[in-house]
Structure 1
Amino acid sequence: MISAPQKSAGKTTVSLGILHNLQQEGVKVQSFKKGPDYIDPMWLKLASGTECHNLDPYLLGEEGCLDSFGRYSTKTDMALIEGNHGLHDGMSLDGFDSSAGLAKMLQSPVLLVINSRGMGRGAAAVVTGMQKMQPEPNIVGVLLNQVRSARQQEKQKSAIEKFCGIPVVGSIPIDEAVTIPERHLGLTTVDEMGSARGIISRAGELVAQHCDMDAIKSMFKATPLHTGSLARKPLIPEYASVKIGIFYDPTFCLSHSA
């Protein structure tokens, strides 16, 4: 899972860059988006070349999330889940429906993206808080984003690795070429961005140049979740032959693939 302490930290940019590089290497990767977001999955689909599916504990419950993850990840080499908002943000006070809750449910390791702006060694305090808050996620690495200087990078990297006990696997500098405009519902859609493929390609370059892709790939190789026993519920016979039409164009583009 790719997550962050708060929204707009660079989760999508990092996810797009990783997916782009994996696709270039011929790795078959299945992308997922935590929550009911319908815009980010468009970007993740374009970067990975396959449909992105939503995982939402609040709407689907634990059984629904396990079922969807099991069905779509079993025939791929890797699965990448992009979290939403902050790692511990959600509707419930206990964090069940947060990205951390979903990561715990799926036994997924977490790569934490930190927006480096305005911080030095204090970045380690942010990571420590993310590690300790319930439900405690398995944060296996940190990726620094929006880094202004080598001095800032070294301060944050040294502090995180010393006090948090996890590696910093990348440090991405500020680059306006990968900025995706935001509005009230989130990012601008792929269809509205004529430069979408260029943004994804540039994100891939930044990740390849400034991150340790081998270390990132090794994080995916945790013990896989055994979801084989969760069989998909059969269709009700009398409705199995019903055909459903879905309007899809730039106006009617809100859809969720669970």
Structure 2
Amino acid sequence: MHKTHELPRLILAGLSGGAGKTIVSLGLCRAFSRSGKSIRPFKKGPDYIDAAWLSLAAGNTAANLDSYFMSDDCVRALFIERMRGFEAGIVEGNRGLFDGMDSEGSMSTASLARCLEAPLILVVDATKMTRTAAAIIQGVAGFEPGLNLAGVILNRTAGPRHRKILRESIERYTSIPVLGTLPKIADNPIPERHMGLWSNREMDGAAILDPLADIIADNVDLDRIQSIADAAPPLAAPDYTLWPEAQGLGEAVIGVVKDEAFWFYYPENIEALERAGATIRTVSLLDSAPWPELDGLYIGGGFPETLAERLSANTAALERVRSLSRAGMPIYAECGGFMYLARSIEYQDRTYPMAGVFPLDTRLCERPKGLGYIQARVESDTAFYKAGETIHGHEFHYSCCSSQPDEEELHFSFKINRGSGIHNGRDGLTVNNTLAGYSHIHALSVPKWAPRFVAAASKFRKARNAE
């Protein structure tokens, strides 16, 4: 008999992207947090920026739940672990409620709701719509069995008369309660750009989130929403072990680059390194602060292009990374980190020299060059992967190689079966013990990644200390 957990929870979904679920999710998290409730936010799917905003809104770190990376048992186990000590969990869905990997809706927000047995609140963009909203909601409620559609929040309503007709229509023709009606917000509080929303590192988060929370508190029935979350059924813990047992891999200090340019990391990736025995030290590639002695380096994604001038001007950091790579230190770089390790970044008609670990150049393009889930086959052994393994990850980049890569000079360790990668269906550039590419991974999807990283770092440490 598996242990069950009483976990108040709900999922917010939309009919499509742009319905307003992010704004509602942020406002709800902030409103509940201001009232003294401890909220754990979650983001469905591979996303760093929305997750960062949710973390700021709730005052607690968000976790990503993704069925492409994780089995249903893994999703439930992670959710239960992350909910420990919290009063409620709020999950922001992605895309449209039933939109998934195929016509069956696999890996959709609806499938996540069933996996977590979570009540679902639908955010509906009611622009230029009245009675039709009732038909849509009725269709959603009956589209898939096992979906607990507990209520709707109507977004972008035009005024009192519009709201009145909407509410009366939905209450007359459906059994789904209207939990709130939101006015149109004149200006988008969080504007978008090439990678999605502007990040909370570049805007005054409190100045944005508190007014959103005010709008939610004034126009949504928070008590009723809390009651819906409280009514979620007990969730049975699966027979699943999230983290590999510690293997005594030796001492290792791994630097994680966290600054304005590089901050795309899943918290579980950092935790996996720590559980494998690493001591984590945060370092920056933007300032001149000295680094501690490191045995490994992790450079995540982010926005190196918008800060390329500062990165390029910090020649001491560029030389340090070049030297560490040549010395054989294990370095793992994802997306923006790969761009930093290239020779240069071209952005807005200017070219900025970078670390030059790999002899190729990158430039930012007007349209995405890689977007979505990836599946890669490892073709050669590295410090992090073994030949023959399959990696499930994701990519989202507007940059590409601006120079034609010399495939004889470069060594790609990944063959991309789904996705784009760096060049010609290849990714995972390697030199010495450095691996870089456009692929992002989640540690729970590749459980051997962190132990191997730590083992390689420990080996490097021992070799250095023996000199």
SS in 2 for 1:60: coil
Deviations 1:134-188 (A, max 9, x none): 3652110000111111121122212222222011010110123553112333211
Q: Which residue of 2 aligns with 1:23?
A: 33
Deviations 1:70-121 (A, max 9, x none): 1001321101100011111121332230000000000000111111112111
Deviations 1:41-75 (A, max 9, x none): 11100011111000001111212211110100132
SS in 2 for 1:253: strand
Equivalences for residues 65-80 of structure 1 within 5 A = 65-80=75-90
Q: Which residue of 1 aligns with 2:172?
A: 162
Equivalences for residues 7-18 of structure 1 within 5 A = 7-18=17-28
Shift of 1:242: 4.5
Q: Which residue of 1 aligns with 2:55?
A: 45
SS in 2 for 1:12: helix
Range with bigger deviation, 137-146 or 238-247:
238-247
Structure 1 or 2: more strand by fraction: 2
Q: Which residue of 2 aligns with 1:147?
A: 157
- Alignment of 1:192 with 2:202, yes or no, is yes
Equivalences for residues 77-88 of structure 1 within 5 A = 77-88=87-98
For 1:212 and 1:136, the matched residues in 2 are separated by 25
Q: Which residue of 1 aligns with 2:125?
A: 115
Q: TM-score, normalised by structure 2?
A: 0.53
Q: Which residue of 2 aligns with 1:101?
A: 111
Deviations 1:12-61 (A, max 9, x none): 11111111111112111111000001100111000111110000011112
Deviations 1:218-244 (A, max 9, x none): 111122312275443333504475443
Q: TM-score, normalised by structure 1?
A: 0.93
Q: Which runs of 5+ in 2 are unaligned?
A: 1-10, 269-467
SS in 1 for 2:102: coil
* Amino acid aligned to 2:99: D
SS in 2 for 1:191: coil
Q: Which residue of 1 aligns with 2:242?
A: 232
Alpha carbon RMSD of aligned pairs, Å? 1.8
SS in 2 for 1:215: helix
* Amino acid aligned to 2:147: P
Give the number of aligned pairs: 257
For 1:121 and 1:150, the matched residues in 2 are separated by 15
* Amino acid aligned to 1:203: L
* Amino acid aligned to 1:175: I
* Amino acid aligned to 2:165: K
Shift of 1:191: 1.0
Q: Which residue of 2 aligns with 1:247?
A: 257
Q: Which residue of 2 aligns with 1:176?
A: 186
Q: Is the 8 A contact 2:44 2:109 kept in 1?
A: yes
Q: For residues 199 and 188 of structure 1, do their structure 2 counterparts lie closer, same or farther at Cα, with a shift above 3 Å needed?
A: same
For 2:182 and 2:34, the matched residues in 1 are separated by 20
- Alignment of 1:204 with 2:201, yes or no, is no
For 2:188 and 2:39, the matched residues in 1 are separated by 22
Residue 128 (structure 1) aligned to one of 138, 144, 167:
138
- Alignment of 1:89 with 2:99, yes or no, is yes
* Amino acid aligned to 2:215: L
Q: For residues 185 and 127 of structure 1, do their structure 2 counterparts lie closer, same or farther at Cα, with a shift above 3 Å needed?
A: farther
Range with bigger deviation, 150-159 or 98-107:
150-159
For 1:63 and 1:245, the matched residues in 2 are separated by 31
For 1:186 and 1:61, the matched residues in 2 are separated by 27
Q: Which residue of 2 aligns with 1:5?
A: 15
Q: For residues 241 and 113 of structure 1, do their structure 2 counterparts lie closer, same or farther at Cα, with a shift above 3 Å needed?
A: farther
For 1:109 and 1:200, the matched residues in 2 are separated by 25
Q: For residues 130 and 256 of structure 1, do their structure 2 counterparts lie closer, same or farther at Cα, with a shift above 3 Å needed?
A: farther
Residue 65 (structure 2) aligned to one of 41, 50, 55:
55
* Structure with the larger RCO, 1 or 2 (CA within 8 Å, 6+ apart): 1
For 1:64 and 1:244, the matched residues in 2 are separated by 26
Over alpha carbons, which structure has the higher Rg?
Answer: 2
For 1:151 and 1:21, the matched residues in 2 are separated by 27
For 2:259 and 2:106, the matched residues in 1 are separated by 34
